[in-house]
Amino acid sequence: MTTEALTLSTKRTRLGGRFRQAVRDVAVLTGRNFVHLAREPLRLSDVTIQPILFTLLFVYVFGAGVVVSGGSYTDFAIAGLLAMNLTTSAIGTAVGLSTDLRTGVIDRFRTLPIWKPSVLVGRSLTDLLSAALCAAIVLATGLVVGWRPDASLGSILAGVGIFLLFSYAVSWGCACLGLVSQDAESAQGLGLIILFPLAFVSNALVPTEHMPALLRTIADWNPVSAVTTAARQLFGNPNPSATIHAWPMQHPVVASLLWSLAMLAVFAPLASALYRRRTTD
């Protein structure tokens, strides 16, 4: 074997070893987050109890007063409830990171020979799995109250996948909030100020056609509206936004993917930079 080939083989071996170590570190920290959830299961209330309450509340309260052309309000609302629950529950990312920073846990992690970004990646994967649980509970509750998709299994799974990608992207934005907040209360308050308007000024729970012009424009270009419309299209459910001429409403699947990828491209590097700043002596 030549010297160049030997050097290349050595580099590949080192890169492979580093990759395996990074995967192990992420797996361990993700498992650590689940251990905390198992010890304090009420931390999961926003992805277990809240979805059931919101689904029952909005279906039976809003459903009595909102008329949706082309189908029932229940079929219309489930995609919106998925969007709302997954968006608002992402606040847990900010709270969890802020708590770890405040209690000094991350300072202890810094003394260990681990891949530094594994703390952020482990947190994001934990929240992605929590989002999957939240989505399953919303859909199960929806089936109980009468929601019925009119599409193939593959199309339904694609709709859920769009939601999970969007939720993962939002969680990185919330990671940034947690890293700039001084404590968990500040992180939660800041997250609510940003995410609740994002979730509600959309087509998640009501059609946008009767909103004031300015509010309707904001709602039609809201990323939550895009993922909700995409899911309704893929689920085969009533989709009044299909008649709106705004580009995201005419191409909701593409718009959803672009929004999610754009947020990941912005927030993941920003969270990494903020994490380095917060953890540098």
* Alpha-carbon gap, residue 252 to 222, rounded angstroms: 11
* Angle (deg, nearest 10), helices 153-180 and 118-145: 130
* Alpha-carbon gap, residue 30 to 96, rounded angstroms: 12
> Residue 13: what pLDDT?
57
Q: Please name the residue ranges forming H helices in 146-246.
A: 153-180, 184-200, 213-220, 223-235
For 1, residues 6+ apart whose C-beta sits below 8 A from its C-beta are 9
> Residue 120: what pLDDT?
85
> Residue 8: what pLDDT?
45
* Alpha-carbon gap, residue 21 to 16, rounded angstroms: 9
Q: CA 88, 36, 173, 25 torsion: positive or negative?
A: negative
Task: Please tell me the pTM assigned to this model.
Answer: 0.87
* Alpha-carbon gap, residue 118 to 22, rounded angstroms: 7
Question: What confidence tens digit (pLDDT) does each residue in 138-169 have?
Answer: 999 999 999 999 999 999 999 999 999 999 99
With a cut of 70, list the residues of the chain below it in pLDDT: 1-17, 19, 34, 36-38, 42, 281
- Token reading at 169: 């992207």
Q: Would you give the DSSP letter of residue 133?
A: H
* Alpha-carbon gap, residue 149 to 176, rounded angstroms: 36
Please calculate the CA angle 203-164-243 and round it to the nearest 5 degrees. 30
* Angle (deg, nearest 10), helices 252-278 and 118-145: 140
For 83, residues 6+ apart whose C-beta sits below 8 A from its C-beta are 163, 166, 199, 202, 204, 224, 227, 228, 231
> Residue 5: what pLDDT?
47
Neighbours of 97 (CB within 10 A): 28
> Residue 118: what pLDDT?
81
> Residue 6: what pLDDT?
43
* Alpha-carbon gap, residue 241 to 228, rounded angstroms: 10
* Alpha-carbon gap, residue 5 to 76, rounded angstroms: 61
* Angle (deg, nearest 10), helices 252-278 and 223-235: 130
* Alpha-carbon gap, residue 259 to 33, rounded angstroms: 28
Three-state secondary structure string covering 62-82:
HHHCCCCCCCCHHHHHHHHHH
Computed on alpha carbons and rounded to an integer, the radius of gyration of the chain in Å comes to 21
